[in-house]
Amino acid sequence: MRRAISYAAMLLVLTVLLTAPMMARRDDGRYANSPLKPWFESLHSEYGQCCSDADGYMVADVDWESDKGRYRVLLDGEWVVVPDGAVITEPNKIGRTMVWKHYIDGHPRVRCFMPGSMT
């Protein structure tokens, strides 16, 4: 029994160490010279600045939908309703759907949402 607990503890520590770098995202400089960098940095919703292109996630067409002007997006296995105030209404210069998310009580929430062309 003691051996099983030791293995479980080691597995938990290993899992945390391996997934932590994937959860943290920061601008590592790869977008510093992008011609779209100023545009990305200017994006904002009613909830504030969306951040930058390093903080947004592209969303596959099958992972978002629109119904009667309301959007839903699949984030971390959960369908999340996009608040009206989070929708970016200016033209989408990249054509792909993007979402900027944050977490409340461990559940994803949408800070900014930019619908794509669904092509």
pLDDT in tens, the chain (119 residues): 655 444 444 444 344 333 333 333 455 667 778 888 888 889 999 988 887 555 789 999 999 999 888 999 999 999 999 999 999 999 999 999 999 999 999 999 999 999 987 55
pLDDT recorded at residue 2 = 59
Cβ pair 80, 51 in contact under 8 A: no
pLDDT recorded at residue 77 = 94
For residue 107, what are the β-bridge partners? 104
Residue 111 has, within 13 A of its CA and on its CB side, a CA count of 16
- Residue 5, φ and ψ in degrees, nearest 5: -65, -40
Q: Which two tokens stand for residue 76?
A: 């971390």
pLDDT recorded at residue 27 = 54
Overall pTM surpassing 0.75 (yes/no): no
Q: Given the structure tokens 């009580």, which residue do they identify?
A: 105
